Structure 1
Amino acid sequence: MEDPIAVALAAPVSSLPIGPYFYEPKYDGHRMVMRRSVGGVRCQSRAGRDSTRSWPDLAAAGMALENGVILDGEAVVFRSGRLDFSAAQSRMASSPARVAALARQHPASYAAFDIIATARHGDVRARPWTERRQLLLEAVGDLGPPIQPVPVTDDPEVALFWYNALRAQGVEGIVAKPAGGSYRAARIWKKLRHSDVVDLVVVGFTGTYRRPRAVVVELPDGRRAMSQRLDARISADVAAHLAQVEPGGLARAAGGEVFTAIRPGLVVEAAAGSTRHAVVTVIRVR
């Protein structure tokens, strides 16, 4: 199987889709593909980077999986009974020693929501979601924390109850998945979120690799725009990603600003209203 694995994504919607769908809570954490092989467990980020060193506790727990199993899910951290995205983000931007301390202080959990391969069947991405869900339960159902399957319902009323009731626990919203859908590297699912945000792909930055001042993103309509100045926390998160990319050349944004181009891979959340006039306010790194 290819490495890295291109993951399936969800397109934002303004209302819960009704039909032959299954619904899952959308957890607020870091997307992670967990790959069990003879050599151990490898964790992969949404962008395809090796993130194993950021999640040593989850990598250790993944050793209980059968050899050949590949899961898709979300690495999350709970603090005081609530999902804490900043705690998960700290894992990605910390040294190995700091990560070890964070793992002891706030252990991570893995919310598995799909399965890409099994020990017995190999690649199962072409199978319908309903079959993959059963294979997922067979692979992780008996493991227990910290690796657990996400809850699922086919009842839209239950999904809307989750949407409203679980917000206090840090659940972002609901993901709807077609019952008969295969797993593909495209926006094949639907997501209904509480926050008025949009995911944007970063194509460049200004400042230095260690201290980026702003990022250049691709807007939903295809335009490229420069963000407002990043705050210190977001700048540090972007710098952690830039430390793993190859140096790029110079380019110009639509407004004429010169920036350093990078290969797409980093994704940020921005306030949706801020993109209308290409004045992008970055909220956080995904």
Structure 2
Amino acid sequence: MDLPISPPVAPMLAKAVKTMPRGDLYYEPKFDGFRCVVFRDGDEVVLSSRGEKPLTRYFPELVETVRRELPERCVIDGEVIIRRGGRLDFDLLSQRIHPAASRVNLLAEQTPASFVAFDVLALDDTAYLDAPFRQRRALLEEALAGARPPVHVTPITESFEVAERWFGEFEGAGLDGVVAKPADVPYAPDKRLMYKVKHERTADCVVAGFRWHKSGPIVGSLLLGLWDDEGRLRHVGVAASFTMKRREELVGELEPYRIADIAGHPWAGWAAQGEADRMPGAVSRWTGKKDLSWVALRPELVCEVAYEHMEGDRFRHTARFRRWRTDRTPESCTYEQLEVPVEFDLDQILT
């Protein structure tokens, strides 16, 4: 591959902020997918992840799409997404990270991926890392002017008011916020020179277990549950944002609730019900051999956590512990408390 920038490249990142920033900024919707830098040199195509690992084998249909729709020689930054109906579906996307080529190929046909481009690092023999974003955006629009779905160029605006509206509306299509990019910023790999505003909500959850921290006998994360309409305690995610001192304190706080025999625990029978992929301790396609064993707790503790949004019936990202809720009963921790965004059609964003 003979390009002015060689793979892999760590993509430029964004720092989280609480409110929408103002200034000489461009605003873009924040798509919830896999960050991907695409390298194309003729028929050679490399898809590189945020962690600089190859994604190429997991998205064979995108390799063909890149050859058909992107410039002959280019390096383009963007997001790989999969849609279900009128919204993004991260669960379907994560299923693509699978060791079996036959499974990957089947899913490539059943749930094909799309690519949303939002920056250009190189075209032909010229690298544009030092160019200001406003110039790179103009180059991107020109280079992809003829591109057809499933390749898209992300919408963009310089209007603070439009960005605020996008933040409120686009969540209904599965997007998770807005990214603000300074107009004069160069492309700085692995540097947080942009800003991201993401949704944050709170929920009261049952704490039904925990995992040990990798560094020793201190708490690594709390396993969170919500009761569904059928009276089952669903594992909805983890809370893991603790200082080391707080992790030590949690060991003593959780000790009275530990149970040796899991037989009566709400999650004891999940594997038998065919839900092993959703129970704590199941093998993760992302972590490989990482120890995901857990310690069961009597489901009597309730804590308030902050979360960004739901993906299906689970938190999309790690939740942030806020406080214990001794005034709440475990039985009151149901899905009904969660705010549901108003639906919004993804096609209205991509077109």
TM-score, normalising length: structure 2: 0.60
Give the deviation of 1:222 after TM superposition: 9.2
Change (3 A) 1:106 1:124: same
Give the deviation of 1:225 after TM superposition: 6.6
SS at match of 1:270: coil
1:11 partnered with 2:15: yes
Q: Does structure 2 conserve the Cα–Cα contact (< 8 Å) formed by 1:196 and 1:271?
A: no
Give the deviation of 1:139 after TM superposition: 1.9
Q: Which of 81, 86, 92 is 2:91 aligned to?
A: 86
Change (3 A) 1:223 1:17: farther
- Distance of 2:38 and 2:16 partners within structure 1: 25
Give, as a single letter, the amino acid of the residue that structure 1 aligns with 2:76. Answer: L
Q: Does structure 1 conserve the Cα–Cα contact (< 8 Å) formed by 2:240 and 2:319?
A: no
Change (3 A) 1:225 1:238: farther
- Distance of 1:113 and 1:223 partners within structure 2: 41
Query: Structure 1 stretch 16-25 or stretch 56-65: which is displaced more?
Result: 56-65
Q: Which residue of 1 aligns with 2:124?
A: 119
Q: Does structure 2 conserve the Cα–Cα contact (< 8 Å) formed by 1:29 and 1:75?
A: yes
- Distance of 2:280 and 2:43 partners within structure 1: 35
Q: Does structure 2 conserve the Cα–Cα contact (< 8 Å) formed by 1:141 and 1:148?
A: no
Give the deviation of 1:95 after TM superposition: 2.3
Q: Does structure 1 conserve the Cα–Cα contact (< 8 Å) formed by 2:61 and 2:112?
A: yes
Q: Which of 270, 278, 285 is 2:318 aligned to?
A: 270
Q: Which of 93, 104, 112 is 2:109 aligned to?
A: 104
Equivalenced residue count is 241
Matches within 5 A, 1:213-252: 232-233=277-278, 239-243=284-288
- Distance of 1:176 and 1:115 partners within structure 2: 16
Give, as a single letter, the amino acid of the residue that structure 1 aligns with 2:112. Answer: P
Q: Does structure 1 conserve the Cα–Cα contact (< 8 Å) formed by 2:30 and 2:176?
A: yes
Find the structure with the greater CA-based Rg: 2
Q: Does structure 1 conserve the Cα–Cα contact (< 8 Å) formed by 2:27 and 2:181?
A: yes
Q: Does structure 1 conserve the Cα–Cα contact (< 8 Å) formed by 2:240 and 2:318?
A: no
Identical positions, percent: 33
Q: Does structure 2 conserve the Cα–Cα contact (< 8 Å) formed by 1:42 and 1:50?
A: yes
Change (3 A) 1:137 1:270: same
**Alpha-carbon deviations, 1:173-192, whole Å to 9, x = none?**
10000001111121111111
**Alpha-carbon deviations, 1:223-275, whole Å to 9, x = none?**
9979xxxx8449799743445x9x9xxxxxxxxxxxxxxxxxxxx9311236x
- Distance of 1:103 and 1:128 partners within structure 2: 36
Gaps in structure 2 of 5+ consecutive residues:
203-212, 216-222, 224-238, 249-275, 291-315, 325-351
Q: Which of 62, 81, 96 is 1:76 aligned to?
A: 81
Q: Which residue of 2 aligns with 1:37?
A: 41
Q: Which residue of 2 aligns with 1:140?
A: 144
Q: Does structure 1 conserve the Cα–Cα contact (< 8 Å) formed by 2:116 and 2:151?
A: yes
Gaps in structure 1 of 5+ consecutive residues:
198-203, 207-213, 248-267, 278-286
RMSD value, Cα: 3.6
Change (3 A) 1:35 1:2: closer
Give the deviation of 1:205 after TM superposition: 5.4
- Distance of 2:150 and 2:139 partners within structure 1: 19
TM-score, normalising length: structure 1: 0.73
Q: Which of 157, 177, 183 is 1:179 aligned to?
A: 183
- Distance of 2:244 and 2:194 partners within structure 1: 21
